[in-house]
Amino acid sequence: MKIALAQINTLIGDLTGNRDRILAAYQRGVAAGADLVVTPELAITGYPPRDLLLRRVFVEQNLRILNELAAVTGRTGLVVGFVGRHETRPGREATNSVALLSEGKIQAIRHKMLLPTYDVFDEDRYFEPAADNSPVEFRGRKLGLTICEDIWNDEDFWRERRYRRNPCRDLAQAGADLMVNCSASPWHLGKTRTRQDMVSSMAAHIGRPIVYCNLVGGNDELVFDGQSLAFDAAGRLVARGAAFAEDFIMVDLEQANPITFQEPCEEEQVYQALVLGLRDYLHKCGFRAAVLGLSGGIDSALTACLAVAALGRENVRGVSLPSQFSSQGSLDDARALAENLGIKYHVIPIQPPFESVKSQLRELFAGRPEDVTEENIQARLRGVILMALSNKFGELLLTTGNKSESAVGYCTLYGDMCGGLAVISDVPKQMVYRLARWINREREIIPQASLTKPPSAELRPNQKDQDSLPPYEVLDEILERYVVQGQTVAEILAAGFAEADVRRVVRLIDLSEYKRRQAAPGLKVTSKAFGMGRRLPIAQRFREI
């Protein structure tokens, strides 16, 4: 059987646009002689549609699109993801479904059985799970139609499983001789290898070929990497889709030979994910250009490089906003970066408005020393100016804070947190440096001084981040253990970290939740990001004793 995996980039809610993308892929498959064309999970609606699923008209229109697609199919089959209607009660009103279309009809419908409700997933909020599944006969084959999570519960691969059932094993036992999986599996560091090993293990376990079509593209915080897969019955990789790009993969399961795959370095993968997520967020929200502040530091430099890669240099505006505390080196580095990237560049000093604001507050603040209040005024003035540029020119403001800063609250509400997208908010500081060196691997784009000088907000004389924080290599490791791995304070201390560092960092992480709740959405590239996948109350007093 010749199968085409249509690794497409869908837009949530763009039902007619997604229909056209699916139809174009189907027609390409027909022209290429495919027996079956497979699309990603919820290809008609885009993934994840979230509370759009609670609008009945949304579900009705997606069903109308399904029927339109069925009507234009011929002998070549089309497997398409859509939102089904669950008619019986009790239960939720919708199902996460796939349909096999051919000969102008809906030949079969199957529903997702395993509904992920953890981290960024919330499917049990919306969908009624399938009680059972059975093979579908097509072209002399018995297809096991599954959806994303249905393939992620192999007892041979996972030491601990979330679900009791293994839909793929059950389908194989029921006579399915080919597994088809429609997926919308978001990417994070480590996912590429885990996913490939897991699907390979499943194919070998059940002794059936598996074709796996994954979504590609950025949707809000999530980045979907594509990298669709096909394995033979022995679990050997026979086809693979492009990473972080649309692709059309033809595989003949009767004649396919095993292939090898060399995973790129982590820096390249994170870079590609961030570029795709940034580009899609802007374009899918109706923007074409971006503006950001350039401090001369490493974070804004990295963000500017990503913006140029995603949008083109002509669509990026960099702004230096120096105060009396800004070093000449930082000003030089910001200008050099802008020149290296070829972007629009402006210098707008903030000292005049800063002095004006201080003058307005002098009487009220009389007798009180300058402190973080004056530092925050500077950051907020920068936010006011950048937002003015964003409004005037219709350019989305990008924030430039990294995950380490966000974790411990080293950011200013309504200041450097102003913006529409927090591009590197899930990138720890150490990875920021790694990405910068990777970008500079062939020639210097980010000035070397930005990589070597001590990080500083430059909001008071001789300020350095490490004045009040442990070194970033220590901070990032504590952050990884506490937030990502979920270790306790006692476990982190047992790993050899200084108690003062651990307790300070953990305290700052806990206290800064109110800031993160008000931050711009950020692109998720680690297994646990701040945002939709980490839901902690703000008004709470639990502390580890």
Which positions are catalytic? 41, 112, 148
- Contact between residue 435 and residue 441 where contact means Cβ atoms under 8 Å apart: no
Half-sphere exposure of 275 (CA within 13 A, CB side): 18
How far is residue 158's CA from residue 27's CA, in Å, rounded to a whole number? 39
Peptide bond into 135 cis (omega under 30): no
Tokens of 361: 């507050």
- Contact between residue 331 and residue 466 where contact means Cβ atoms under 8 Å apart: no
The Cβ of residue 131 has, within 10 Å, a number of other Cβ atoms equal to 7
Question: Among 183, 26, 2, which residue's Cα sits nearest to residue 104?
Answer: 26
How far is residue 344's CA from residue 291's CA, in Å, rounded to a whole number? 9
Rg (CA), the chain: 26
CA–CA distance from 392 to each of 62, 156, 320, 395 (Å)? 37, 57, 17, 8
3-state secondary structure of 374: helix
Could you give phi then psi for residue 357, rounded to 5 degrees? -65, -45
Question: Among 272, 338, 267, which residue's Cα sits nearest to residue 309?
Answer: 272
How far is residue 448's CA from residue 445's CA, in Å, rounded to a whole number? 9
Half-sphere exposure of 307 (CA within 13 A, CB side): 37
Question: Among 126, 144, 127, which residue's Cα sits nearest to residue 135?
Answer: 144
User: Locate tokens 């027609």: which residue?
Assistant: 27
3-state secondary structure of 163: coil
Strand partners, 237: 231
How far is residue 41's CA from residue 315's CA, in Å, rounded to a whole number? 33
Question: Among 191, 199, 186, 120, which residue's Cα sits nearest to residue 152?
Answer: 199
Calculate the dihedral angle through the C-alpha atoms of 184, 188, 189, 194, rounding to the nearest 10 degrees. -30
How far is residue 213's CA from residue 26's CA, in Å, rounded to a whole number? 14
